[in-house]
Structure 1
Amino acid sequence: MRKTKIYKILSLLLLLSIVGGVIWYAQLSNRHKAIVKTTLLHKTGLVDNDWQVENIRKEYNMLSPTFIVDDIYKSMEGPKASNYVMLSQDSTLLWITGFKVVAQDAKTGEKMSNDFICHMNVDMNDSKYYSNFGLEDRIGKQYPRLTSLSHGMETFDFPKGYGVPMKGNDLLFVTTQTLNHNIKDAYYKVKHQVSITYQEDKNIKPLMSKTAFIMLPYDKYDPYKSPIDPGADFCIPVETKNHSYDDGSGNKLSGHWVIPIGKNTYRSDINHQLGIKDSLRLHAAAIHVHPFATRIMLFNKTTQKPVFVSEVINHKNSIGLTNIENYTSKEGIWLYENQEYEIVLEVNNTSKEEQDMMGSMFLFFYDEEMDLIVNSKFK
């Protein structure tokens, strides 16, 4: 076969591959397009793909790789990156006391709007973490997310005298993701500065993290059918692959759903997520909601009173969250095994189209069992 013919065949195959790739890419969701673009840009080195780490003065700082924000990216859709965190090189007992994430210009280092921050998740290896303290019976009981910061709550600190204990050479897994609700013709190079503050103080009281979130039922046979009552009946999930759960009886639930235009209230029982045995004292709560949420509360169904209420302030002239009220208390609030609890979320979709929503709480309780362990083995 002549070389010219071989070249023609190869050129045709290359052209077909490019056309096929373009068609495949065009059919992807915005979220998956961001994953493909970010991976390609980082793997080829077209943009900076390294994490920069600094660990001084009891504050662990990481500067993310560069993210190209070149489109509208709603919650959970934007470019993201992940990295492992080790607070020290040895097994010294340390106490995590706070978290922070800041958006900055990749070139100048100047602070940018929080509107470019979707969320920053901090996960732990619960098997290794609990084994370090002889608490193997806790392994696998819930999703091992320590906490999450998100648009509207970009910084979170525990009340003074409280923290999450961990051995310094244990690993945390941090994922940070970008956001852009409003700028259609965007082209920004963004980095996220992630900070974790910690102490070696031996007089801190330990906190345990429990994640609770709203899960709403949907029709597993026709998931995108409009529900009769979007606040109490069935929801429409954003998708059925992620944030989709089984209630143990074959019914499907979604933690990421679509809200219609106007006001609605959503509620979900969370006793099974809390797993309270006898009682627990709540000292802090970090909140995660999406734009158009207006209030979220942890509600005691038994007493018919809120445990705490978090007011959510939305931007006035654009889509976004100005502030999410957190909960912190040195005194704490008691929750009991024989009482029923739920998360109640109020929303007001003032846009002209359906929007997506989540309602999550990262709840921090005084950990009496852990306190006995660290006092006997590490002090």
Structure 2
Amino acid sequence: MRKPKIYKILGVIILLTILGGGIWYWQLPNRHKAIVKSYLFEKLGIVNPNWKVENKSETYKMISPEFYIDGIYKSMEGPKASNYVQLSQDSTLLWLTGFHVKAIDNKSLQAISKDFICHTNIDFNDVKYYSSLHLEKRIGKHYPRLTSLSHGMENFSFPAGYGVPMNGNEFLYVTTQSLNHNLPDANFWMRHEVDINYSREKNMKPLMSRTAFIMLPFDKSDPYKSPLDPGTNQCIPVETKNHTYDDGHGNKFSGHWVIPIGKNTYRSEVNSQLEIQDSLRLHAAAIHVHPFATQISLFDKTTNKAIFNSKIVNHKGKIGLTSIDPFSSVEGIWLYKNHKYEIVLDVDNTSKVSQDMMGSMFLFFYDKELDDLLK
């Protein structure tokens, strides 16, 4: 075969590959497009994947790699990066006391709008964590996420005298993700700065984390069909691959669902997530919701009273969350095994289209068992 003919065949193959790759890429959802772009930027050397790290004065500071914002990225769609964290090089017991994230300019590293912060997750290795504290029976009982910061709640600290203990040389896994609800023509680079506060004090009281979130049923045979009876509390899931749960009886639930235009209230029982053996004393709560949420409550159905209400303020004139009230109490509030608890979420979708929603709480209880072990 002559060389010109070989070149033509190779040219056709390359062209078809590019066209096929382009078609495949444009059919991806925003979340997966962001993953592909971030991977290519890293491999082409456009982005340095390494984090900038500083650890002093009991604050572990991290600056993420660059995120390229080139259009609308709704919740859980934007470019993201992950990093392993060791607060110290030895097994000295440290106390986690606070978490902070801010969006910063790519070059000057000065703060920019917090509207470019989606969420920052703090995960831990439950096998190593509980083994080191001689609490092996807790391994695998709960998803090992310590807490999460998100748009509207970019800073969260425990009440004075309380913290989450861990050996300094154990690893935390931090993932931070970008967001852009309002700038369709965006074309810029930015980063996230993540701070973890910790203390070396010896007489603090330990907290343990429980994650509770709204799960709504959906029709597994036709998940994207609107519920015939709104009173059933059914939802339309955003997707059925992520944030989908089974109740053990074949019924499907979603923790990420679609809200229609207007005001609605969603509620979900959370006793099975809290797993209260006798009683627990609640001291802090970090909240995760999406824009158009207006209030979220942890509600005691037995007493018909809210344990706490978290007010949520939305931006005016654009999509986004101005603030979310955290819950923090030195005295604490008791929760009991024989009471029924639920999360109640109020929303007001003032946009002209359906939006996506989540309602989650990272609840921190005094850990008496661990306190006795540490003493």
Q: TM-score range by the shorter chain?
A: over 0.9
Query: What is the one-letter code of the residue matched to 1:19?
Result: L
How far has the Cα of 1:40 moved from its partner?
1.0
Total equivalences in the alignment = 375
**Letter aligned with residue 282 of structure 2:** L
1:48 aligned counterpart, secondary structure: coil
Task: Give the distance between the partners of 1:163 and 1:178, measured in 2 at CA.
Answer: 28
1:126 is aligned to 126
CA-CA distance at 1:105 after TM superposition: 0.5
Alpha-carbon displacement from aligned partner over 1:231-289 (angstroms, at most 9, x marks no partner):
74310000000000001110000000000000000000000000001100000000000
Task: Tell me what 1:276 maps to.
Answer: 276
Which residue pairs with 2:247 in the alignment? Answer: 247
TM (normalized to structure 2)? 0.99
C-alpha contact 1:313 1:322 (8 A) present in aligned 2: yes
Matching residue's letter, 1:256 = H
SS of residue paired to 1:77: coil
Which residue is equivalent to 1:317?
A: 317
CA distances 1:162-197 after superposition (whole Å, capped 9, x unpaired) = 000000010000000000000111012110000000
Alpha-carbon separation, structure 2, partners of 1:281 and 1:78: 36
Query: Which of 6-15 and 352-361 deviates more?
Result: 6-15
**Structure 1 residue 10 displacement after superposition:** 1.4
1:306 Cα offset (Å)? 0.1
* Partner of residue 306, structure 2: 306
TM-score by length of 1: 0.98
Q: Between 347-356 and 107-116, report the one with greater CA deviation.
A: 107-116
Question: Which consecutive unaligned segments of at least 5 residues does structure 1 have?
Answer: none
Cα distance 1:230–1:88, how it changes in 2: closer, same or farther (>3 A)? farther
Counterpart residue identity of residue 149, structure 2 = L
Are the structure 2 counterparts of residues 229 and 175 from structure 1 closer, same or farther at C-alpha, using a change threshold of 3 Å? Answer: farther
Structure 1's 112 and 358: CA in aligned 2 closer, same or farther, altered over 3 A? same
Q: What runs of 5+ residues in structure 2 fail to find an aligned partner?
A: none
The residue type paired with residue 312 of structure 1 is I
Distance 1:350 1:365, change over 3 A: same
Q: Over residues 306-363 of structure 1, what are the superposed CA-to-partner deviations in whole Å (9 max), with x where a residue is unaligned?
A: 0000000000110000000000000000000010000000000000000000000000
Q: For residue 328 of structure 1, what is the aligned residue in structure 2?
A: 328
| Distance in structure 1 (CA, Å) of the matches to 2:373 and 2:230 | 46
Give the equivalent residue in structure 1 for 2:53.
Answer: 53
Distance 1:289 1:366 in 2: 24
Partner of 1:225: 225
Q: How many Å separate the matches in 2 of 1:217 and 1:133?
A: 37
Give the superposed CA RMSD.
0.9
2:37, 2:17 → 1: CA distance? 17
Instruction: Tell me what 1:9 maps to.
Output: 9
Q: Deviations over 1:82-116 (max 9, x none)?
A: 11010000100000000000100101211110000
Following the alignment from structure 2 to structure 1, what is the Cα–Cα distance between the partners of residues 219 and 109? 47
In structure 2, distance between residues paired with 1:230 and 1:142:
31
- Alpha-carbon distance between aligned partners in 2 of 1:188 and 1:160, rounded to the nearest angstrom: 40
- Report the AA paired with residue 311 of structure 1: K
Whole-Å Cα distance in 2 between the matches of residues 299 and 328 of structure 1? 16
Separation in 1 of the partners of 2:20 and 2:175?
A: 31
**Matched residue, 2:207:** 207
Distance 1:42 1:110 in 2: 23
Report if the CA contact (8 A) 1:230-1:259 is conserved.
no
CA 206–47 in structure 1, closer or farther in 2 if over 3 Å, else same: same
Distance in 1, Cα, partners of 2:97 & 2:225 = 44
Q: Distance in 2 between matches of 1:65 and 1:232?
A: 45
- Corresponding residue for 1:361? 361
After the TM superposition, which parts of structure 1 deviate over 6 Å for at least 4 consecutive aligned residues? none
Deviation at 1:230?
4.7
Separation of aligned partners in 2, 1:109 and 1:230: 48
Q: CA offsets, 1:11-50, max 9 Å, x none?
A: 1111111000000001101111111111111222112322
The separation in 2 between residues aligned to 1:230 and 1:238, in whole angstroms, is 17
Do the aligned partners of residues 13 and 266 (structure 1) sit closer, same or farther apart at CA in structure 2, a change above 3 Å counting? same
Distance (whole Å) between structure 1 residues aligned to residue 45 and residue 164 of structure 2: 37
Q: What residue identity is the alignment partner of 1:204?
A: M
In structure 2, C-alpha distance between the alignment counterparts of 1:94 and 1:336, rounded to whole Å:
30
